[in-house]
Amino acid sequence: MKGLLKDADPGRLVEHTPEELQPHRKSAMDALQAVDRFPHSRYLHYDELNHVSWKLEGARKDPETVASRIPYPVHLDPAGKDETLIALVNGHLHPLHTPEASFRLLTPEEALQTLPAFAERWMRQLSAYADRFALTLRASWTHALIVHVPRNTQGGHLRLLRLLDEEGLLDPLYVHVILEPGASLSIVEEVYSTRLEDPTLVMTGVETEVGEDAHLRYTQVQALAGNTYFAAYRLATTRRYAGMAWVGAALGARKAYIRQQIRIEGEGSQNDASELFLLGDHQQTDMYAELDHAVGGAQGTLLSQAVLRDHARKVYTGMIRIRPGAQKSNAFQADHNLMLSSNAKSDSIPSLEIEADDVRATHAASMGRVDEEKLFYLQARGIPLPEARKLMVFGHFGPTLDRMETATRERVLDLLESRWEELEQG
């Protein structure tokens, strides 16, 4: 980790880690020494970060002060009396609303004491990734939230609000969600920053274990401003008759790097991953999404919906993997792009790896411009051209917005309005 952190001693990070988890951190630190570049490809790169040193701890500030300086609307009130709302401000924890909940929020120490074999489950899925973003997250995490939902416990709502106004900060968060059989939970993570000038790296690693007949929706909304970078790993495992939904909204960050996977280990499960992108200026995003059908008889969908303008760039790689013997699997992936500029570019790379012969696996991709006839239709009914264009853009996001809960969808629509107006003004 030499050169990566300005203000943190790797030895102290290890000392402040529970003894059972120290080998995990040490192995990531050792591996990081051999990886001197962030991911790069013929499409996108992050070379400008290779020699940046970050602070691991920012100033302690109250959420209201930071939220008031963020250029996008931030809702600090809970969506309902039953919603647990926790803010992380420059890496410092602020519980804002903590009613009696149907789930348990545990520290790593508490999880090790109360959850069976938790040391073996810790970052088990994330450990499969050996790129510099993943290793940095595994080596330098400062906050870890373990969310445990007991058997047949339903209806929980958790919102994580991450706010940053600190220059040059590395902000890594690890979330491990465990739903016992018959449980259900909705989690929303929202990530915001002020217009930061020095490179700032925000990272999230989410691992979920969705038990038999359990249902989880995890929504991640990213609206970082300024010279910010975002890296996210969303990794899920589902059992028999489970339901797993990843929903994402990517509006901000100079560059983003997203890795998402659902490993299907139970028949009859319903698995869905959808993402919307509103990208402008010179924003760049690299996303890889995968459905891994380890057993048959399950449903899976990957959906990407993007609007690109100015000089924005997006690379989307979708993978449907069906293992030997996973008969009766049903999987679909689609990447739809609305291009508003001849300088914007989108690369769609759908892939299928099928090792069973009684399955349904299909993919689709589209790239087009705003329909001029529809624009004319809206204008003929008195809608000004800028408003008509915006309506068509927002309509493009409809299927992903429909996958969000009402309160989340309303907040995302507010963000879309604000970000669109910002891009229109240049």
* pLDDT tens readout for residues 307-354: 999 999 999 999 999 999 999 999 999 999 999 999 999 999 999 999
User: 423: closest CA among 238, 243, 258, 280?
Assistant: 280
Q: Where are the beta strands (DSSP E) in 266-359?
A: 270-279, 284-293, 299-308, 313-322, 330-339, 345-354
| Secondary element (H or E) of residue 125 | none
265-317 pLDDT, tens digit per residue, is 999 999 999 999 999 999 999 999 999 999 999 999 999 999 999 999 999 99
Identify the band that residue 260 occupies on the pLDDT scale cut at 50, 70 and 90.
very high
Mean pLDDT confidence for 134-148: 96
- Write down the residue that tokens 């009696």 correspond to: 100
pLDDT grade, residue 1 (50/70/90)? Answer: low
Q: Would you say residue 369 has pLDDT above 90?
A: no
What pLDDT does residue 7 have?
67
Burial category of 11 from C-beta neighbours within 10 Å (exposed 0-12, middle 13-18, buried 19 and up): exposed
Residue 426 has pLDDT above 90, yes or no: no
Asked if residue 129 has pLDDT above 80, the reply is: yes
pLDDT one-digit tens code per residue, 151-208: 999 989 999 999 999 999 999 999 999 999 999 999 999 999 999 999 999 999 999 9
| Mean of all residue pLDDT scores within the chain | 94
Over residues 92-108, the mean pLDDT reads 95
Q: Please report, rounded to a whole number, the percentage of residues in the chain having pLDDT higher than 90.
A: 85
Decide if pLDDT at 17 tops 80. yes
Q: What angle do CA 386, 419, 426 make, to 5 degrees?
A: 65
Say how far apart CA 411 and CA 246 lie, in whole Å: 17
Q: Is the pLDDT of residue 374 over 90?
A: no
Q: What are the phi and psi torsion angles at 25 (to 5°)? A: -65, -45
177-190 pLDDT per residue, tens: 999 999 999 999 99
Contacts of 349 (CB under 8 A, 6+ apart): 315, 316, 317, 318
From the centroid of its chain, how far is CA 353? 24
Q: Give residue 3's pLDDT.
A: 63
Strand partners, 172: 203
Return the pLDDT at 376.
67
pLDDT over 90 (residue 370):
no
User: Hey, which residues does 144 pair with through a beta bridge?
Assistant: 174
Q: How confident is the model at residue 2 (pLDDT cuts 50, 70, 90)?
A: low
How do beta strands 92-97 and 83-89 pair? antiparallel
Residue 8 has pLDDT above 80, yes or no: no
Distance CA 174, CA 190 (A): 14
- Percent of the chain having pLDDT more than 70? 98
Q: What is the mean pLDDT of residues 14-30?
A: 94
pLDDT at 373: 73
- Position 42: which residue type? R
**Structure tokens given for 141:** 């995490």
DSSP per residue over 7-66, as a string?
Answer: S--HHHHHHTS-GGGHHHHHHHHHHHHT--S--B-SS-B-GGGTT--BBS------HHHH
More confident residue, 375 or 174: 174
What pLDDT, on a 0 to 100 scale, did the predictor assign at position 107? 96
Query: Which residues are CB-contacts of 410 (< 8 A; sequence separation ≥ 6)?
Result: none
Is the pLDDT confidence value at 251 over 90? yes
